């Protein structure tokens, strides 16, 4: 189990380059594994919406086996479990266990921090503590998705949730928000860095318009450098321009160069 700074030992290591399977929802697990290997990436976050549905432990076991046999790590189980909805946690956790994932990603409710009242905050915190308790009993860590429309829409919201839940096996993901400036994104990343597990890597602008990762190489090199002291985790490619496998391979090359300390991406 991966552990946070709340009295737990950190794992000092470099970011693992990976991808999330929801980038190509139309592809089979075998095709995704082959593309990941071709790209030179080392891990996959398997999504719970298409490829590894919660409760389908047979599929989870098979996808985990296929992934590891190709020398690729299962980085996380990317579930669509939403705190605050009263959903049962067991099927999600059991699926993650069969997949061989060390971590379960979940969603921090259905409201931004400012739109949620104190009653809702208490409900989400209570749900999160219970989920983390059950996950820890299975040897699993938990990470919240960092996303608009949830309590982890902002660094301030994510930090409040981490502190109020107070779980040693709890982390948060991070990803840039295209609605705010690069400097604001850097400040938010700095806020959550003590609890940071993995980063979703993509290049969007404005109304979620996608661009090649190299278009934002300078900004991404700063994100990576500024998060170098995070406890553990992966840089996970997500949602490429035009849903193109060719663009994915280009973005993967760019990510690998950025993780080597470069500030630009070159062919």
pLDDT of residue 1: 53
209-210 and 204-205 strand pairing:
antiparallel
Q: For 85-137, what is each residue's pLDDT tens digit?
A: 999 999 999 999 999 999 999 999 999 999 999 999 999 999 999 999 999 99
- Ordered by where they begin, the domains of the chain are 16-259 (3.20.20.150)
Nearest to residue 128, comparing CAs of 115, 138, 141, 111? 141
Q: For 225-267, what is each residue's pLDDT tens digit?
A: 888 666 668 999 999 999 999 999 999 999 999 999 888 897 6
Q: For 41-87, what is each residue's pLDDT tens digit?
A: 999 999 999 999 999 999 999 999 999 999 999 999 999 999 999 99
Q: For 140-197, what is each residue's pLDDT tens digit?
A: 999 999 999 999 999 999 999 999 999 999 999 999 999 999 999 999 999 999 899 9
φ, ψ of residue 37 in degrees (nearest 5): -65, -40
**Sign of the C-alpha dihedral computed for residues 71, 27, 210 and 152 taken in this order:** negative
């Amino acid at each position: 189990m991966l552990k946070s700074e709340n009295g737990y030992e950190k794992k000092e290591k470099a970011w693992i380059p990976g991808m999330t399977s929801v980038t190509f929802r139309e592809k089979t697990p075998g095709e995704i594994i082959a593309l990941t290997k071709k790209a030179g990436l080392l891990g996959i976050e398997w999504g719970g919406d298409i490829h590894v549905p919660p409760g389908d432990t047979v599929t989870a076991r098979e996808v985990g086996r296929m992934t590891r046999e190709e020398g690729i790590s299962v980085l996380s189980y990317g579930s669509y479990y939403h705190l605050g909805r009263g959903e049962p946690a067991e099927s999600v956790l059991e699926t993650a266990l069969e997949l061989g994932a060390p971590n379960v990603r979940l969603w921090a409710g259905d409201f931004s921090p400012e739109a949620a009242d104190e009653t809702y905050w208490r409900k989400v915190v209570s749900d999160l503590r219970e989920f983390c308790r059950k996950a820890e009993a299975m040897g699993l860590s938990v990470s919240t998705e960092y996303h608009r429309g949830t309590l982890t829409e902002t660094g301030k919201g994510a930090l409040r949730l981490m502190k109020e839940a107070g779980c040693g096996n709890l982390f948060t993901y991070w990803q840039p928000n295209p609605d705010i400036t690069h400097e604001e994104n850097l400040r938010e990343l700095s806020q959550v860095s003590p609890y940071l597990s993995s980063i979703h890597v993509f290049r969007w602008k404005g109304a979620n318009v996608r661009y090649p990762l190299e278009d934002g190489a300078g900004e991404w090199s700063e994100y990576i450098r500024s998060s170098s002291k995070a406890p553990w985790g992966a840089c996970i490619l997500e949602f490429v321009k035009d849903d193109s496998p060719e663009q994915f391979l280009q973005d993967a090359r760019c990510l690998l160069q950025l993780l080597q300390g470069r500030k630009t991406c070159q062919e």
